[in-house]
Amino acid sequence: SQQGEEDPQALSIQEGENATMNCSYKTSINNLQWYRQNSGRGLVHLILIRSNEREKHSGRLRVTLDTSKKSSSLLITASRAADTASYFCATANQAGTALIFGKGTTLSVSS
Amino acid sequence: SQTIHQWPATLVQPVGSPLSLECTVEGTSNPNLYWYRQAAGRGLQLLFYSVGIGQISSEVPQNLSASRPQDRQFILSSKKLLLSDSGFYLCAWSVSLMDSLNEKLFFGSGTQLSVL
């Protein structure tokens, strides 16, 4: 069953611009995670934000979490061509046994 | 450090043929192991997870099965492949279950399966 849904499905920007991706989820969470996937590769964990946190930073990444709206956003500042990838949000299933992923946002950064 | 190996990287199989994909984790003990499938341009679908040897939980009824014969080995199998089994298969591991505050997944590099 789908837990997270990313928006937009696709995003095209120029190098140096900021990229914002949004994620909505349905049930209560302990944390929400963001992953990155380069084409044809496995996913790589980017950042985890706990349910009692509202904002978290890691390098050029900024993640916000609004549990009242059941939504999160991932901001990539000063994007680079190397940021071109698909980005997924993920939360635990109700049993807490595995992560459920959204369909992802495909980001294209052109130089 | 921990590493996860998944093979083969690509596989082309005829309809009706068997399948065996293997995943091994090194550098950790008693990991939780997962198989996901990703259809072209779509999100990840959880197929199976395992919390220990011989313990397999199936999330989606389908033409596939999973086994965990050793602590750090996870195998995805099928007796007869269908066209709909085509996709990108990803193995992943975690230290503990996802209901903890800080748990995250570590993914293998994936297997692109084409059933023709």
B35-56, pLDDT tens digit by residue?
A: 999 987 778 999 999 999 999 9
Quick one: closest CA in B to A93, which residue?
B98
A35-46, pLDDT tens digit by residue?
A: 999 999 999 999
| B36, B99, B109: residue with CB nearest A96 | B99
The percent of residues above 90 in pLDDT, for chain B, comes to 82
Averaged pLDDT, A71-79: 98
B42-96, pLDDT tens digit by residue?
A: 789 999 999 999 999 998 867 899 999 999 999 999 999 999 999 999 999 999 8
Contacts of residue B110 in chain A, CB cutoff 8 Å?
40-42
Q: How far is A14 from chain B (nearest CA, A)?
A: 22
Reported as type and span, the H/E element at residue B35 is strand B32-38
| B 3-62 → A contacts, CB under 8 A | 6, 34, 36, 42-44, 46, 49, 51, 57, 59
Q: How far apart are CA B114 and CA B109, in angstroms?
A: 16
Q: Is A58 exposed, middle or buried, given 0-12, 13-18 or 19+ CB atoms closer than 10 A?
A: exposed
| A45, A48, A98: residue with CB nearest B46 | A98
